[in-house]
Amino acid sequence: MKLDPANNIQDLQYFGEFGGVNPSISDSSTFTFIKAKTMFDTFEGNADGCYLYSRHTSPSNLYLGEALAAMEGAESANVAASGMGAITPVLMQLCGAGEHIVSSRTIYGGTYAYLKNFMPRFNVTTSFVDITKLDIVEAAITKNTKVLYCETVSNPLLEVADIRSLSALAKKYNLKLVVDNTFSPLSISPLALGADVVIHSLTKFINGSSDTVGGVVCGTTDFINQLKDVNTGASMLMGSTMDSMRSASILKNLRTLHIRMQQHSKNALYLAEKFESLGIKTVYPGLKSHKSNSIFKSMMNEKYGFGGMLTIDVGSLDKANALMELMQKRNLGYLAVSLGFYKTLFSAPGTSTSSEIPENEQKEMGLTDGLIRFSIGLDADISRTFIMIRESLEALSIV
Ligand code: PLP
């Protein structure tokens, strides 16, 4: 039977303290003990079922972590206060001074800045490569390389990583393959394809209501315990802990993720085909014209589709800005960064979410001025939306 990650979430069963259908929210930063010895054992991590202090762990965070681990088919997971709060400790845990990372060059601007500008302060260096070219990836590996890092579907160019092949490379050189799966939850299950660690910014599709930031790391119990170790764990010691109120609300939203992803994907495929038929340069992994369409198909959990993200290139930043302002005025979506909302969100990545990447490098990777990144919403009638977008494109003489 093929893995269905949504079933794994559905199959969990929780009750609240008084028989509530949702688990009770743990509203305490610290926990009491009857016996002092149990407190000591809990601090050392040896008293199962006991809680000491909510930066270490809390019942609400464990519930959410368990559900996300189930979704990704992981042994364990650790939630964090943001996506960056999940990414940064993972890389610090896996790499020390003198070690090296090979990363896709098209990744979220914040992750890029962290690898390029921040990690060198600790003598951890990164080679940025075209992740779709396996020979180039392999050539960048040195004897000091510890991690191969990529996004399943990259932000903002929507390049698709061939996770099976990258995993084979990682195994050959004894590296950890760390995959940010923020753009393709449910659609792609990287651990089943050979990744070692999967990260999400929960801020996006998984929470889906643009009301909080959050992150998660999914992996083996051993690795998650390393991150949470009170003496040596990067998550524990850098302290990017999610608040219990938030983990409770994200868990509730997670339960509808499968329905939302299907609608995001259906709407995005519809619009991508329509934009392409108007002669606009459109990138969407579900289009035959996408250079990794067949790789995506070979990896995907079919019913969740190709995701809600697409890009179009309207030729110049001025045109992109004019179009986004007009679409917002006509209430077709919001001129805002981030993704996974019920409304369509659009931004020009070169001047927003990828602005950390220097201009010459943006050019080299194909990040053009006229590029607009769309996170397609849950519109009930996407054909009506398209007609209105086409009118906006015509009004600005883009088509
Ligand atoms: N990974 C990807 C692919 C993202 O798009 C983002 C944010 O835009 C992040 C990670 C960082 O997540 P957060 O903003 O929750 O820290």
Atom of ligand 1 nearest to the CA of 151: 3
307 CA → ligand 1 middle, Å: 16
Q: What is the pLDDT of residue 1?
A: 47
Best mutation site among 203, 240, 247, 357 for ligand 1 pocket (most ligand atoms within 8 Å of CB): 203
pLDDT for 65 beyond 90: yes
The CATH architecture annotation of domain 5-254 reads 3-Layer(aba) Sandwich (3.40)
The CA 87 to ligand 1 mean position distance, Å, reads 9
pTM value is: 0.97
Mean pLDDT of 50-55: 93
Long-range contact set of residues 174-177: C-beta below 8 Å, sequence gap at least 24: 175/102, 175/141, 175/145, 175/146, 175/147, 175/148, 176/94, 176/146, 176/147, 176/148, 177/147, 177/148, 177/150
In this predicted structure, the answer to whether residue 45 has a pLDDT above a threshold of 90 is no
What's residue 81's pLDDT?
A: 98
Bridge partners, 346 (sequence order):
335, 374
For residue 317, pLDDT over 80 is answered with: yes
**Is the pLDDT confidence value at 46 over 80?**
no
Which is the closest atom of ligand 1 to the Cα of 338? 8
pLDDT tens digits along 208-230: 999 999 999 999 999 999 999 99
Cα 341 to middle of ligand 1, angstroms:
14
Find the 201 Cα to ligand 1 centroid distance in Å: 5
221/138 Cα distance (integer angstroms): 29
User: Which of the four CATH numbers 3.90.1150.10, 3.40.50.720, 3.40.50.1100, 3.90.1720.10 does domain 257-395 have?
Assistant: 3.90.1150.10
How much is the pLDDT for 19? 95
159 CA distance to ligand 1 middle (Å): 16
Test site for ligand 1: of 181, 182, 198, 217, most ligand atoms within 8 A of the Cβ? 182
Does 292 have pLDDT greater than 70? yes
Q: What is the pLDDT of residue 354?
A: 81
- In terms of DSSP bridges, do strands 197-201 and 176-180 run parallel, antiparallel, or are they unpaired? parallel
| 21-25: Cβ within 8 A, 24+ apart | 22/248, 22/251, 22/252, 23/59, 23/60, 23/63, 23/248, 23/251, 24/59, 25/60, 25/244, 25/245, 25/248
Pocket residues for ligand 1 (CB within 6 Å)? 82-84, 108, 110-111, 151, 155, 180, 182-183, 201, 203, 213, 215, 353
Q: Atom 8 of ligand 1 has which residue's CA nearest to it?
A: 338
pLDDT value of residue 356: 83
Closest protein CA for atom 11 of ligand 1:
83
Query: With 50 as the cut, is the pLDDT of residue 166 above it?
Result: yes
Average pLDDT over residues 294-319: 97
**Distance from Cα 339 to the centre of ligand 1, integer Å:** 9
Boundaries of every domain in the chain: 5-254, 257-395
Distance 84 CA to ligand 1 centre (A): 6
Q: Whose CA is nearest to atom 5 of ligand 1?
A: 108
CA of 33 to the centre of ligand 1 (A): 38
pLDDT confidence band for 365 (50 / 70 / 90): confident
Distance 232 CA to ligand 1 centre (A): 25
Ligand 1: atom nearest CA of 214 is: 15
Q: What integer is the mean pLDDT of 239-266?
A: 97
Residue whose CA is closest, atom 12 of ligand 1? 83
The torsion angles phi and psi of 150, rounded to 5 degrees, stand at: -155, 170
- Tell me the per-residue pLDDT of 119-135, one tens digit each, with 9 for 90 and over: 999 999 999 999 999 99
Q: Give the closest residue (by CA) to ligand 1 atom 14.
A: 83
pLDDT band, residue 2 (cuts 50/70/90) = low
Quick one: 17 exposed, middle or buried, by C-beta within 10 A (0-12, 13-18, 19+)? exposed
Q: Ligand 1 atom 4: the closest Cα is on which residue?
A: 108
283 in Cβ contact with 165 (< 8 Å): no
